[in-house]
C-alpha cells in the first residue's frame, strides 16, 4: 500500500472512493460540488494498493481568527473491506505532514454526531473534541 501525498492532478480520479462517504449525492450534484470545491482549493491525496485506490483524503487549507492557518479535512474514506489495516491512520499522518509543510497551526475536521467509530479513530490519531458544528440549510431565493 502506498500513500500518494502529492495531490491528485484530477481529484475526480478519487470519485469512486469519495462516493462511499458522499453517496447521498447524485451524479450532477457530486460533479458540481467537486468542481466548486477544487476551484476553492480542495485537494485529494490517495492510498493505493498497486493501481487500485483504496482510500482518499480530501482537504483544504484555510485561515481564520480562531485557528489561524489550518489544514481542514473535508473527506476521509477507506473502502469497507480495507478498514482496520492502518490506511486511514496513514492518510491522517500524511495530512499532518502536509499541514506542517504548509506552515499550518492546526489539523481540523468535523464529524457527524452519530459516527462514534470515526470519533474513536480520530481520538486515536491524537485529535481532541473541541466543539460542536452547527449548520442550517438555506432556502435559495
Write out the DSSP string of 116-139: HHHHHHHHHTT-------------
Q: How many domains does the chain have?
A: 1
Domain CATH for 49: 3.40.630.30
For residue range 19-70, what is the model confidence (pLDDT) as tens digits? 999 989 999 999 999 999 999 999 999 999 999 999 999 999 999 999 999 9
Distance CA 91, CA 113 (A): 22
Q: Is residue 62 part of a domain?
A: yes
Listed residue (82, 18, 85, 81) closest to 45, CA to CA: 18
Q: Which residue range(s) make up the domain with 63?
A: 2-124
Cβ-based neighbours of 16, under 8 Å, separated by 6 or more: 53
What pTM does this model have?
Answer: 0.93
Mean pLDDT of 9-20: 94
Q: Is residue 64 part of a domain?
A: yes
For residue 128, what pLDDT is reported? 96
For residue range 80-123, what is the model confidence (pLDDT) as tens digits? 999 999 999 999 999 999 999 999 999 999 999 999 999 999 99
Burial 91-129 (b: 16+ CB within 10 A, else e): bbebbbebbeeeebebbbbebeeeeeeeeebbeeeebee
Which 3 state secondary structure label does DSSP give 90? Answer: helix
Q: Is residue 38 part of a domain?
A: yes
Q: Is residue 6 part of a domain?
A: yes
Q: Is residue 106 part of a domain?
A: yes
Q: Is residue 133 part of a domain?
A: no
Q: Is residue 131 part of a domain?
A: no
Distance CA 112, CA 55 (A): 19
Q: Is residue 83 part of a domain?
A: yes
For residue 23, what pLDDT is reported? 85
Amino acid at each position: 500500500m502506498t500513500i500518494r501525498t502529492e495531490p491528485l492532478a484530477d481529484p475526480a480520479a478519487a470519485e469512486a472512493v469519495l462516493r462511499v462517504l458522499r453517496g447521498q449525492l447524485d451524479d450532477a450534484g457530486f460533479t458540481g460540488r467537486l468542481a466548486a470545491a477544487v476551484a476553492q482549493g480542495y485537494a485529494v491525496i490517495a492510498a493505493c494498493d498497486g493501481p487500485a485506490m483504496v482510500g482518499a483524503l480530501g482537504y483544504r487549507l484555510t485561515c481564520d481568527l480562531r485557528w489561524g492557518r489550518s489544514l481542514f479535512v473535508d473527506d476521509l474514506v477507506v473502502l469497507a473491506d480495507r478498514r482496520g489495516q492502518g490506511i486511514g491512520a496513514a492518510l491522517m499522518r500524511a495530512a499532518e505532514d502536509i499541514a506542517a509543510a504548509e506552515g499550518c497551526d492546526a489539523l481540523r475536521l468535523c464529524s457527524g454526531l452519530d459516527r462514534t467509530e470515526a470519533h474513536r479513530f480520530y481520538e486515536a490519531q491524537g485529535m481532541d473534541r473541541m466543539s460542536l458544528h452547527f449548520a442550517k440549510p438555506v432556502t435559495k431565493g
